């Protein structure tokens, strides 16, 4: 496909990648005329909003809340980082892989801390894996082809990943589910009933997930299961169905990963999946990632440092969740470079007050509460719409995001490179 810069003739993209969530749907059809997106197909409502993002954009850079040009704003950002002894580089889940690489170079050069949103959403899962709980994993394509039992646990893709059901789990035809949904058993375990087709729905109270998982494990092992007496018949039927499948998947979401009793919930579900695999079945557990390139940030840090997030370069590459992550370092750092994130909207109030005490440099396509308190705010192009780059799907598959239309905004990679070059001068 020709690049968006090649004139104003009509262009059609037959396999564009949607940059909304970590599904990275790669079958989007886009028709562009005169640098305007006129038609979108094979895209959810969130993807449509991302491709047509005209509102809520920061129009120009600001320095201390006042309009500025890019040159002056970048110079101020460089001065802030030069004066910082231990800056925090945070966010990056909504940035291209190339931009993440530059951000990592800045963190290393300044001997600062680099952290991504994964440290808030999935940190307890990594803690369980570090404690040597077994982890069975697969690509989404394999799950689509082979899984005949689909469990969504603490995850409602209808509201978070609308096309996940159609592309990777419930509805598509697979090698062992040639009739799609009619050849699969769908189970949902959540506090609220999700709006998709299923054979079983187990409603839990917050924090009860571990009890359900432990009961299923006991039933699979043929042990007495006494914690869920009122549901034992239903859970026995579900255990039988899990046991009868040769391949299944449990998709876990923030209802498990960040809900009440999350640590015990995660360990109990990991143990359940391990038990299923020891019966001769193939079951995988799959964390539902949110931001479109959070997996890219995690894989980059794993490759370069051996750790998934929260790496402190001020003390010989230290990694200690809770201490070297954003929730633990805000009283230690003296500046922050925030890329594609809005911590003012997502962090607890006490942590936001800590942010108010340090100068913030924020790169983002959109206005946000964090932008409003930034010492330097730099608007950037939307990757996958106004600039190109690499992103990693939630299962770790790298995909190329195209530049679909031209824009007045520079890419986050370009601005980070200018900041890095300024630091070296």
pLDDT digit string (tens) for 310-369? Answer: 999 998 768 888 889 999 999 999 999 999 999 999 999 999 999 999 999 999 999 999
pTM over 0.85: yes
- For residues 420 and 412, what is the distance between their CA atoms, to the nearest angstrom? 12
Ramachandran area for residue 109 (φ above 0: left; ψ -120 to 50: alpha; else beta): alpha
Q: What digits encode the pLDDT tens for the residues 55-85? A: 789 999 999 999 999 999 999 999 999 999 9
Average predicted confidence (pLDDT) for the chain: 93
Question: Collapsing DSSP states into helix, strand and coil, what is residue 245?
Answer: coil
Q: For a pLDDT cut of 90, what percent of the chain falls above it? A: 85
| Number of CB atoms found within 10 A of residue 264's CB | 17
- Topology, domain 62-120+292-382+410-424: Rossmann fold (3.40.50)
DSSP state of 289: -
Q: CATH homologous superfamily for 123-287?
A: Dimethylsulfoxide Reductase, domain 2 (3.40.228.10)
Q: Smallest Cα–Cα separation from 188: which of 143, 156, 234, 232?
A: 156
Spatial separation of the C-alpha atoms in residues 129 and 115, rounded to whole Å? 19
- CA separation for the pair 117, 131 (Å, rounded): 21
- 335: nearest Cα among 368, 374, 365: 374
- The pLDDT confidence band at residue 6, using thresholds 50, 70 and 90, is low
Q: Is residue 127 very low, low, confident or very high in pLDDT (cuts 50, 70, 90)?
A: confident
Rounded to an integer, the average pLDDT of 141-156 is 96
Which of 348, 305, 257, 254 has its CA nearest to residue 114?
A: 305
Q: Find the mean pLDDT for residues 99-126.
A: 94
- CA distances for 229 relative to 212, 218, 232, 235, angstroms: 11, 13, 5, 10
What average pLDDT score do residues 255-268 get?
90
Q: Contact, 15 vs 385, CB < 8 A?
A: no
Averaged pLDDT for residues 127-152? 92
Range(s) of the chain covered by CATH 3.40.50.740: 62-120+292-382+410-424
| Cα distance from N-terminal residue to C-terminal residue, the chain | 39
- pLDDT average, residue stretch 14-37: 96
Q: How many angstroms from the chain centroid is the CA of residue 12?
A: 28
Query: CATH 3.40.228.10 region(s) of the chain?
Result: 123-287
The pLDDT of residue 7? 52
How far, in Å, CA of 115 to CA of 213, rounded? 31
Query: 5 pLDDT exceeds 60?
Result: no
- Give which of 401, 412, 397, 321 is closest to 141, Cα–Cα: 397
For residues 392-413, average pLDDT: 97
What is the pLDDT at residue 54?
76
The DSSP code sequence of 192-203 is S--SS--SEEEE
pLDDT computed for residue 2 by the predictor: 43
Mean pLDDT computed over 383-407: 97
Q: What would the mean pLDDT of 18-46 be, rounded to a whole number? A: 96
Query: Taking the alpha carbons of 323, 324, 326, 329 in that order, is the dihedral positive or negative?
Result: positive
Nearest Cα residue to 367 out of 58, 69, 94: 58
Q: Tell which residue, 376, 352, 378, has the closest CA to residue 364.
A: 378
């Amino acid at each position: 496909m020709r690049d968006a810069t090649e004139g104003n003739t009509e262009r059609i993209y037959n396999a564009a990648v949607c940059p909304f969530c970590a599904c990275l749907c790669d079958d989007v059809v886009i028709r562009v005329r005169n640098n305007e997106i006129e038609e979108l197909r094979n895209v959810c409502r969130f993807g449509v909003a991302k491709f047509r993002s005209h509102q809520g954009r920061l129009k120009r850079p600001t320095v201390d809340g006042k309009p500025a040009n890019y040159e002056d704003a970048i110079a101020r950002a460089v001065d802030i980082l030069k004066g910082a002894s231990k800056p925090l580089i945070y966010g990056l889940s909504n940035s291209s892989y190339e931009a993440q690489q530059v951000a990592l170079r800045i963190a290393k050069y300044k001997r600062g801390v680099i952290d991504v949103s994964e440290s808030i959403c999935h940190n307890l899962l990594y803690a369980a894996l570090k404690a040597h709980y077994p982890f069975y994993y697969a690509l989404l394509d394999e799950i689509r082809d082979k899984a005949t039992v689909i469990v969504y646990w603490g995850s409602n893709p209808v509201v978070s990943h609308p096309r996940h059901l159609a592309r990777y789990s419930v509805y598509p035809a697979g090698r062992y589910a040639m009739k799609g949904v009619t050849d699969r058993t769908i189970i949902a375990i959540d506090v609220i009933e999700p709006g998709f087709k299923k054979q079983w729905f187990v409603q839990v109270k917050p924090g009860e997930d571990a009890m359900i998982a432990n009961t299923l494990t006991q039933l699979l092992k043929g042990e007495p299961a006494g914690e869920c007496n009122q549901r034992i018949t239903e859970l026995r039927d579900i255990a039988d169905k899990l046991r009868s499948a040769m391949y299944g998947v449990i998709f876990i979401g923030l209802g498990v990963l960040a809900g009440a009793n999350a640590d015990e919930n995660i360990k109990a579900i990991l143990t359940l999946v391990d038990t299923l695999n020891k019966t001769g079945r193939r079951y995988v557990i799959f964390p539902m990632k949110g931001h479109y390139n959070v997996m890219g940030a995690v894989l980059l840090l794993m490759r370069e440092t051996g750790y998934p997030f929260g790496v402190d370069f001020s003390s010989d590459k230290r990694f200690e969740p809770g201490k070297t992550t954003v929730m633990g370092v805000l009283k230690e750092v003296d500046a922050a470079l925030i890329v594609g994130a809005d911590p003012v909207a997502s962090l607890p109030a006490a942590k936001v007050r800590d942010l108010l005490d340090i100068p913030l440099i924020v790169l983002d396509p959109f206005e946000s509460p964090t932008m409003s308190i930034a010492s330097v705010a730099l608007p950037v192009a939307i990757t996958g719409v106004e600039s190109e780059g690499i992103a990693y799907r939630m299962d770790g598959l790298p995909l190329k995001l195209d530049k679909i239309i031209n824009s007045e905004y520079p890419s986050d990679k370009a601005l980070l490179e200018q900041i890095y070059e300024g630091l070296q001068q």
